[in-house]
Amino acid sequence: MTKNIDFLDCDPSDINLSSMSLSSSNNAATNQRGNTLTPTTMTVTAQGAGLQALLDGHEASITINDQTFTFGLFSRGINMIVVDTAAANMQKAVAISTFDTHGSECLSGSLAETIAMIPETAVVAIVVVDEASMSLTKRGRAAMASIGARLFPRCGWRDGYALITPVRSPYLAVEAHKPDAEGGLTDQVSLTFEFGAPNVPSALPAESTGELRLIKARSAGRNAGSFAEVVVDGVTERFTEQGLQVVIVLKDRKMPLFKALFQTHVDEKESELLFWFLADQQAKWRRKKDTPAAIVCVAVGDMARRMQPKATTVLQKLGSQLVSHVENGVGFAMIAKLHARESIVEAQAPSDRRHTPTRWINLEL
């Protein structure tokens, strides 16, 4: 069973979870304390529980400051709490969903679509309860990986798993995994963050932090306006020519941006050109470890229609988990450090709402 987050049909950057009440999913989560808090900081703690842990009398739980939500046998699958840090108060910031990816492959798709619609101002807490792997598809696993679930591929039959991740910075995610053979009750993971942070509307320029360069990007598919935007240190580049737009950003502010367009939606030969270009850039900047560089890839309108496996593979080598699941005419955005494979952020627009751009993604270089 699932109760999905009821996102409105709009740009994810404009979504605020304040329209959603603090509620349980099919009575799966129990709010043990009903008081409402509006703190300036928030601590989220999560603990997953596989079947053996439940049989031993334990429950999975997610705690937001002093409010605890518990998940038992009737919450089988992946249980998610989304906290929008831009909401007016905590009571209006929280939404809960349960995806029984043990019992239904369809709910893997629902999981992926929900993750695609979560705004970048959100923090996501996930616990696996009972069993979540049997019907979990590659697309569902890729969506989990895109928000920082590095240990999730280890999550097998009736294992416990817990994740807390800031969608804006998934490389800061904390997680825990416990095999069924070891009892299935994970260690607790915890993350503290600021509550009441401002949203990131499309008109708001990025600001660099100290010596760091702040890079932002988003993508709009064919039915969402066919554009992409890349913002570096507050300066916006807007792209409207269809295809996969690639931008190389160097740490050295004196160096210009390098931009290249590959029309992988029109000509299969463009995938070959993209492959060699990205392979060359990756090798070049990994050799020059004293000159950090980042690569931004954004789909404009469509990039997938004639994209070949060779091009998909080279993007996966940069760390992309989502690229093989991007459908024709759907937005896709990725930022990766060329000298550090684990530093990547990416987003895909939901395939069932093709008029919606991706959320903004952010990376500091």
- CA dihedral over 246, 250, 251, 253, signed as positive or negative: negative
Tens digits of per-residue pLDDT, 233-259? 999 999 999 999 999 999 988 889 999
Q: For position 29, what pLDDT does the model report?
A: 42
> What is the arithmetic mean of pLDDT over 68-75?
92
Tokens at residue 161, please? 């798993």
Q: What is the C-alpha separation between 235 and 219, in angstroms, rounded?
A: 16
Indicate if the pLDDT at residue 365 is higher than 90: no
Indicate if the pLDDT at residue 38 is higher than 70: no
Q: Could you tell me which residue, 211 or 148, shows the higher pLDDT?
A: 148
Q: For position 115, what pLDDT does the model report?
A: 94
Q: For position 342, what pLDDT does the model report?
A: 66
User: How many C-beta atoms surround the C-beta of residue 227 within 10 A?
Assistant: 20
Tens digits of per-residue pLDDT, 57-71? 999 999 988 889 999
Q: For position 221, what pLDDT does the model report?
A: 93
Q: Could you tell me which residue, 213 or 204, shows the higher pLDDT?
A: 213
The residues, any chain, with a CB within 8 Å of residue 279's CB and separated by 6 or more, are 314
Q: What is the C-alpha separation between 334 and 170, in angstroms, rounded?
A: 12
Indicate if the pLDDT at residue 34 is higher than 80: no
Q: For position 90, what pLDDT does the model report?
A: 60
- CA distances in angstroms from 108 to 87, 184, 189, 251, listed in the order given: 28, 22, 24, 38
By CB neighbour count within 10 A (0-12 exposed, 13-18 middle, 19+ buried), where does 313 fall? Answer: middle
Q: For position 35, what pLDDT does the model report?
A: 40
Q: For position 286, what pLDDT does the model report?
A: 74
> What is the arithmetic mean of pLDDT over 298-307?
95
**Among 297, 271, 270, CA closest to 358:** 297
Q: What is the C-alpha separation between 45 and 47, in angstroms, rounded?
A: 7
Q: What is the C-alpha separation between 251 and 263, in angstroms, rounded?
A: 27
> What is the arithmetic mean of pLDDT over 39-50?
87
> What is the arithmetic mean of pLDDT over 301-309?
94
Q: For position 225, what pLDDT does the model report?
A: 93
The residues, any chain, with a CB within 8 Å of residue 204's CB and separated by 6 or more, are 198
Identify residue 122 by its one-letter amino acid code. Answer: A
Tokens at residue 53, please? 């842990």
Q: Give the mean pLDDT of the chain.
A: 83
Q: Are 318 and 344 in contact (CB under 8 A)?
A: yes
Q: Are 276 and 312 in contact (CB under 8 A)?
A: no
Q: What is the C-alpha separation between 44 and 63, in angstroms, rounded?
A: 6
Q: Read off the pLDDT band of 196 (50, 70, 90).
A: low
H/E run at residue 268: none
Q: Read off the pLDDT band of 84 (50, 70, 90).
A: confident
Indicate if the pLDDT at residue 85 is higher than 90: no
Q: What is the C-alpha separation between 213 and 180, in angstroms, rounded?
A: 43
Q: What percent of the chain has pLDDT over 90?
A: 63
pTM above 0.85, yes or no: no
Question: How is residue 33 annotated by DSSP?
Answer: -
Q: For position 321, what pLDDT does the model report?
A: 93
Q: Read off the pLDDT band of 178 (50, 70, 90).
A: very high
> What is the arithmetic mean of pLDDT over 172-185?
95
Strand pairing of 41-47 and 189-194? antiparallel
Q: For position 185, what pLDDT does the model report?
A: 96
Long-range contact set of residues 232-240: C-beta below 8 Å, sequence gap at least 24: 232/206, 232/257, 233/206, 233/207, 233/208, 234/205, 234/206, 234/207, 234/208, 235/205, 236/205, 239/298, 239/300, 240/300
CA 83 to chain centre: 14
**Among 197, 199, 198, 204, CA closest to 234:** 204
- 250 SS3 class: strand
